[in-house]
Structure 1
Amino acid sequence: MTTGRTLVLSVDRDDDIGWKAKIKSPVVGRQECLKAADTLALADPEDSDVNAIFSAVKIYDELIAKGEEAVVAVIAGNHLHMIEGDRKIAATLDNVIAETEPSSCILVSDGAEDEYVVPIIQSRLPVASIRRVIVNQMPNLEGTYYILKKLLDDPKISRVVFVPLGLAMLLYASAFILGYPGTATIVVIGVIGMYLLYKGFGLDEFIHGSINALRASMSRGKFSFVTYSTTIVLGVIGFAIGFFTVLKYYTSDSSMGVLLYVMSFMYGAIIWLIVAGLVTSVGVIVDVYINERENLAKVIVFPFFVFAIGLILYGASIYILAVSSVPEFPVKPTDAGMYIMYSTLFGLACAIIGVIIQYVIAKRQAVQQKEAIIENI
């Protein structure tokens, strides 16, 4: 017989109990877990989390029948954002452990996705066993079609499938209406490619984190809320102008390669993006100066680096487009070298100035901290 109390834990990582059954996590105790399973089953009888919760209760009953001390609980994450959901699971698990005081855990899962949280659980409690609940399905065409239909009905999956397809079709139709039929295909392919890169590099989580930072700055009355809002507007304008610049220099004879289209976009958008980066940097510096002045040296260099990188990229885009003899480009090939040379020199000078200012501020802060320590002694 094992010593200590065993926590039989069912993890609903995508929060179906909250999304579908409107049940707040955590759910602790046999009767509460059965009530949650019944409510979820009525909301969605095909949800596999129902079987996982019932399986957890069954394991709990078996342990109690053997005379062991046990407790059963269900915790959930977030239906749309996995990172926030895992953080919620970690915080909820801490509360459950503090309430029930278990010495080990039996994890009950309905699939591999829930088992991603095993390291989170193991960092807080020994995992004695993992039970995966597999729901039998009909292995025929009708059953497969029904499963796919249920998946596409899930907002978490449908937004990944339907949003890029719908956006591509909308852009394709808009290109024809605006009189750019030859541009429609490249626009659609470009948008789908950007969306795939957006998801592949995890930029959705980055943007979601930026939105949370925006909300936090607004709720705390920080100056960066204004600069973040301005940055979003400037970024949208920059991307729009970059897109129209690509259309301006677009040729239907395939004489321009992908690199030249990228440079065209950069040539049109980079000035706006530089201004957006500078506005954001100023907001961060002001907030740090007011609230965390000891960290000023770490952020004071941001606007200098933003301006330096943007200036170099701007010069590079002009140089490449000019020497490639892009039709109707305002800079002549003979002047291209001057643009890239001056933009690189000014960019490097700006970066060096930023590093020097950062060094001076850091040294001054170190002296002030040393003086403060001496005064306290």
Structure 2
Amino acid sequence: MTEGRTLVLSVDRDDDIGWKAKIESPVIGREECLKAADGLALADPEDSDVNAIFSAVKIYDELIAKGEEAVVAVIAGNHLHMIEGDRKIAATLDDVIKDTKPTNCILVSDGAEDEYVIPIIQSRIPVASIRRVIVSQMPNLEGTYYILKKLLDDPKVSRVVFVPLGLAMLLYASAFILGYPGTATIIVIGVIGMYLLYKGFGLDEFIHGIINALR
């Protein structure tokens, strides 16, 4: 049996509970977490964060049943801006720790993206365990198509995919109309190359951080 109080923490890095269910984080306590999970399930029944929150509550119940002292909470970041969201997670976690006084943490995650915040959590409280929740699905072509469709419907993903493709096509069409088909190909390849380097080196997050600092 672990001594002290265990914080069972579900992290929603892209803030689906706020973006879809309009629920402000942090959410602390068993009943409040269940309400948050129900609200997100009604807003989007297929969101994997629903399963992560229910899993966190289940772990909390198991610890309580064994006679351990525990508390369950959900914290969220930002749906569109990861740097700003991670800062929000850090500040929110500080508030949760201050309110609940835990001595260790069990992190519940629905995927690798949420686990990027592990260093943030470990800098504030010892992480005793990490539970990754994976929803089993039929691996068929229809399921793959549906997953891709859901990703492209997400504005965070669609702006990354559609904006550069649309810009490249527009530049190609413009150069072709002006009578420079060879130049059009070079322009399109150059624009795509610059965009890939821009995303690959993480310059978008860096620039966004500078803008936030200036604000």
**TM, length-normalised to structure 1:** 0.55
Q: Quote how far apart the aligned CAs of 1:50 are.
A: 0.2
Between stretches 137-146 and 197-206, larger displacement belongs to 197-206
CA contact (8 A) 2:82 2:205 kept: no
Deviation at residue 212 of structure 1 after TM alignment: 2.1
Secondary structure, counterpart of 2:150 in structure 1: helix
Per-residue displacement from partner, 1:116-154 (whole Å, max 9, x unpaired)?
211211111111111111101111111111111111112
1:182 is paired with a residue whose SS is helix
Aligned length: 214
**Cα distance in 1, alignment partners of residues 152 and 205 from structure 2:** 21
What is the alpha-carbon distance in structure 2 between the residues aligned to residue 3 and residue 90 of structure 1?
25
Structure ranking higher on relative contact order (CA contacts 8 Å, 6+ apart)? 2
Deviation at 1:213, TM superposition (A): 3.9
Query: Aligned equivalents of 2:180 and 2:169: distance in 1?
Result: 15
Unaligned runs of 5+ in 2: none
The aligned counterpart of 1:182 is 182
Structure 2 residue 130 is matched with structure 1 residue 130: yes
Alignment partners' CA distance in 1, 2:72 and 2:113? 21
Task: Quote how far apart the aligned CAs of 1:115 are.
Answer: 1.4
Query: Does 2:73 align with 1:76?
Result: no
Unaligned runs of 5+ in 1: 215-377
**CA shift at 1:159, angstroms?**
1.6
Deviations 1:92-122 (CA, angstroms, capped at 9, x unpaired): 1000000000111111111122112112111
**TM-score, with structure 2 as normaliser:** 0.94
Report the Cα offset of residue 209 of structure 1.
Answer: 2.5
Give a deviation string over 1:201-239, Cα, whole Å, max 9, x none.
22212321332244xxxxxxxxxxxxxxxxxxxxxxxxx
Identity among equivalent positions (%) equals 92
The aligned residue for residue 94 of structure 1 is: 94
Shift of 1:66: 1.6
Indicate how the Cα distance of structure 1 residues 139 and 65 shifts in structure 2: closer, same or farther if over 3 A, else same.
same
Would the alpha carbon gap of residues 200 and 22 (structure 1) be closer, same or farther in structure 2, given more than 3 Å must change?
same
C-alpha deviations, 1:320-370, integer Å up to 9, x for none?
Answer: xxxxxxxxxxxxxxxxxxxxxxxxxxxxxxxxxxxxxxxxxxxxxxxxxxx
Question: Partners of 1:182 and 1:118 in 2: how far apart?
Answer: 48
Per-residue displacement from partner, 1:5-25 (whole Å, max 9, x unpaired)?
111100111111111111111
CA contact (8 A) 2:10 2:75 kept: yes
Deviation at 1:166, TM superposition (A): 0.6
Change (3 A) 1:61 1:201: same
Measured against aligned partners, the alpha-carbon deviations of 1:297-329 in whole angstroms (never above 9, x if no partner) come to xxxxxxxxxxxxxxxxxxxxxxxxxxxxxxxxx
Cα distance, 1:155–1:87 mapped onto 2, change above 3 Å: same
Q: Does 1:205 align with 2:205?
A: yes
Kept in 1: contact 2:28–2:74 (CA 8 A)? yes
Q: Distance in 2 between matches of 1:58 and 1:51?
A: 10
Structure whose residues are more often helix by fraction: 1
Q: Would the aligned equivalents of 2:33 and 2:74 in 1 still touch at CA under 8 Å?
A: yes
> 3-state SS of the aligned residue for 1:183?
helix
Cα offset, 1:160, TM superposition:
1.7
What pairs with 1:1-377 in structure 2 (closer than 5 Å)?
1-214=1-214
CA displacement at 1:177 relative to structure 2? 3.1
Deviations 1:50-95 (A, max 9, x none): 0000000111111112221111000011122222211111111000
CA distance in 1: counterparts of 2:16 and 2:54, whole angstroms: 15
Q: Distance in 2 between the 1:143 and 1:136 partners? A: 12
CA distance in 2, matches of 1:17, 1:110: 13
* Cα shift readout 1:231-251 (whole Å, capped 9, x = no counterpart): xxxxxxxxxxxxxxxxxxxxx
